[in-house]
Structure formats: structure tokens, C-alpha cells
Amino acid sequence: MHELSICQSMLKIVDSTMEQHEGAKLRKIFLDIGRGSTIEPVLLSEAFEVITAGGPYAGTELVINDIPISGRCRDCGRDFTYEELAVGCPNCGSTNIEITAGLELDIKALEVDD
Amino acid sequence: MSRVEIEKKIQSENDRLAQENRKVFSEAGVLVLNIISSPGSGKTTLLEATLDRLADKMNVVVIEGDVSTERDMDRVRAHGASGIQINTGGGCHLSAKMIGAVLGQLDLDSAELVFIENVGNLICPSTYDLGEDVRMVLLSTTEGDDKPMKYPSIFHEASLAVLNKTDLLPHLTYDVEKVEKEIRVLNPDSEILKLSAVTGEGMDAWIEWIMAKLREKKDTQT
């Protein structure tokens, strides 16, 4: 539900990057969005379309790398998926677990026409 | 066509403003708790019960975040807190910028403790650092025992989880052990407290937890 404010924060970063590439046309924005990041990719894309309509970024494609949540057992070192995580490590039963991926909310790169 | 590398957290601007808030809080020597929960889990009731036990010992500031009304601020003022109400006007979370904008209106210098009562929502507030020392998630027994794995972000981010309304457990099918296990899986370092803000059960341990954090904060500053 806060996709709009996340979209605005993202656009500030895009603006400051595009200022260094005067005259270039923005084509794509590459994002890493973890499934545990609280951001829903479909809603983010919709918010982006609404905010950018009629402006210089209209028609820009959001390329979202959707990253599943995964964890690693700090005791036995086993890697596993989120579905396995609820009851602890599937190998040794420990709850001493580190979330290793799935919380990303990053802007990775832009693709521009020079 | 060319690719421009950025590699930046989308929240980097909020994180920068949160660090500025943290500096202001730190200079005033206050301990700051950011309380996040669903609507109706008892955030304001817990604050009232906490103020009843602390307000004669120290000055407590409360920053209230709500979509609309001053109702929560009126309630905590009646229990001895000073502070300010932020109305987000539909916004589902507080941000570091909103907190920074009201810091000048708070009497932080004479206070020891600041509570930020975030907008009732388990999702959006979890990605906004406000400059707090402790991000706390409050859950209640009436919400059902499946919440941690459904809302992993906040349970991963919070260093303290408090389970409220334990007085109602005899009337509910709520598996406390399962909830504790799910919280630990999402954050093995999370502390967990159980209490009832209404009956007072577990409140002594909660107050002692706050006092210990206050001492810890003072020790790191001297």
C-alpha cells in the first residue's frame, strides 16, 4: 500500500542519475524486489505508470527481479526456502536461522538511449 | 542504448534522514521505541499502562501516528505524556521525514524516553527506519497465531516482539509456542515479552526491560 511513496523515492534516484545523462531517453529501470520487502511488483508498476504518465519517463519499462525469501541455518549451514523455514531448519531443526535473500528493495541500473 | 549502473537502496534517502533523527535523539540522550502493530492490538492501551508506571519517574514523549484524529494523543496526554500527533491523511506509515519535521516541537531535553506509535499496519511501517533505537512489533492474542510467517518483514526487522492480551488466552485457540518459534525463525536475536496491558500481567517485566535499555543507553553515552 506504500508502493506510491516507494515509487516516488525511486524516481528521485532516477532523476539525479538522469541529470548526469542530459538528452538521454530513459527506457528501462532494473529493480531487485524481494518477496519479503513488503512491495508488490504489480502495484509498484501500476503506481509507476500513473506517476510518470505524460512526463519524460512515460512508457519506461520496470524490469523487476522478483527474489524469493530464503534462509540458511546458522548451526548446520543448510540453505532452504521460505516454505521450509516456518518450523525451523529442515536438516537439524534449529531455529537459529539467517534470512539470506528476499528482503531486497534496490534500484540496480537504468537502460537509456543516448 | 547503454546501461547505467546505480546499485542503491530505494530507501536510501529515508535511511539518511533517519540517521539525522537518530543524531538529534542521541544528543538529547533519549531512548526511542518505534511501535508497529495491526490496528486494535492495543498499542495505545499499552502506552497508557506504561505511562501509569513511569510518568512519575521520568518525562515521556509520545509521537502518535494515525491517518486522522487526535484521539490517541488525547489518551496518552491524560496519562502524563507530552508529545505530538501526526496525521498522515491516508498514508499507511510514518517516515523519517515526518518525524524530522516535528522534532523541534518536542521537549526532548527534559525527556528520557520517546515512544513513536506508528500507524496501525504490519506491512508498510516495517521498511521505514525513523531513527529509533528499538523497533518493536506488538501483536495480540486475538489476531490469530499465524501472523509472523504471514508478515515476515516486520518480525525480521523488529528486535523486540511483545504479545499483548495474554489475559484472553483461556478463551482462545492461540498457540503461543508456535508464534514464539516463528518469531525466532525470522529473527533469532529477537527478544519476546508476553503481557496484558489491561490486567497488568507481565507489565513488571516490560517496565524492567525499558529500565534496562535506558541504563544500557546511558552507559554507551558516558
B33: closest CA of chain A, how far (Å): 21
Cβ-Cβ contacts under 8 Å, A106 against chain B: 7-10
Q: Which pLDDT score is estimated for B218?
A: 87
Helix axes B12-28, A3-18, angle to 10 degrees: 100
**Separation between Cα atoms, residue A21 and residue A83, nearest integer Å:** 44
Domain B12-221 has CATH 3.40.50.300: yes
Predicted pLDDT of residue B194: 98
Beta-carbon neighbour count of residue B27 at 10 Å? 11
Say yes or no to pLDDT of A84 above 80.
Answer: no
Q: If pLDDT is split at 50, 70 and 90, which confidence band does A90 have? A: confident
**Residue A87 DSSP label:** T
pLDDT at residue number B221: 78
Whole-number pLDDT of residue A87:
77
pTM for the whole structure: 0.94
Judge contact between B138 and B35, C-beta under 8 A.
yes
Q: What is the mean pLDDT of residues A89-105?
A: 92
CB contact under 8 A, A97 and B185: yes
Contacts of B6 in chain A (CB under 8 A): 13, 17, 107-110
pLDDT digit string (tens) for B4-57? 999 999 999 999 999 999 999 999 999 999 999 999 999 999 999 999 999 999
Of B4, B5, B185, the CB nearest to A95: B185
Averaged pLDDT score across all residues of chain A: 93
User: What pLDDT, in 10s, does the model give residues B198-218?
Assistant: 999 999 999 999 999 999 998
Cα gap B84→B65, rounded to integer Å: 9
Pairing of strands A105-113, A25-34: antiparallel
Mark out the alpha helices in A39-104 (DSSP H runs).
Answer: 41-52, 82-85
The dihedrals phi and psi of B132, each to the nearest 5 degrees, come to: -75, 160
- Report which residue type is found at B154: I
- Indicate the domain borders of chain B: 12-221
Task: Please tell me the predicted confidence (pLDDT) of residue B125.
Answer: 94
Secondary structure (H, E, C), chain B: CEEEEEEEECCHHHHHHHHHHHHHHHHHCCEEEEEEECCCCCHHHHHHHHHHHHCCCCEEEEEEEECCCCHHHHHHHCCCCEEEEEECCCCCCCCHHHHHHHHHHCCCCCEEEEEEECCCCCCHHHHCCCCCCEEEEEEEHHHCCCHHHHCHHHHHHCCEEEEECHHHHHHCCCCHHHHHHHHHHHCCCCEEEECCCCCCCCHHHHHHHHHHHHHHHHHHHC
Instruction: Give the pLDDT confidence of B93-138 residue by residue, as tens digits.
Output: 999 999 999 999 999 999 999 999 999 999 999 999 999 999 999 9
Range in A61-65, B171-175, B218-222 with the lowest mean pLDDT: B218-222
Is a pLDDT exceeding 90 seen at residue B222?
no
ipTM of the complex: 0.91
CB–CB contact B152 A69 (8 Å): yes
Contacts for B2 with CB less than 8 Å, ≥ 6 apart = A111, A112, A114
Q: What would the grid cell of residue B25 be?
A: 535523539
β-pair partners for A109: A30, B5
Domains, chain A, ordered by start: 3-113 (3.30.2320.80)
**Whole-number pLDDT of residue A77:** 95
Taking a C-beta distance cutoff of 8 angstroms, is the pair B42, B140 a contact? Answer: yes
**Which among B9, B92, B123 has CB closest to A106?**
B9
Q: Indicate whether B191 pLDDT > 90.
A: yes
Subunit contact B91:A5, Cβ cutoff 8 A: yes
Is the Cβ pair B6, A107 closer than 8 Å?
yes
* Best residue in B7, B10, B94 for a mutation probing chain A (most A CBs within 10 Å): B10
A107: left (phi over 0), alpha (psi -120 to 50) or beta: beta
CB-CB: which of B6, B10, B13 is closest to A105? B10
Query: Is the per-residue pLDDT at A1 higher than 70?
Result: no
> What's the gap in Å between the CA of A54 and the closest CA on chain B?
22
Closest approach of A102 to chain B, Cα-based (Å): 9
Of the ranges B85-89, B97-101, B148-152, the best mean pLDDT one: B97-101
Percent of chain B with pLDDT over 70: 100
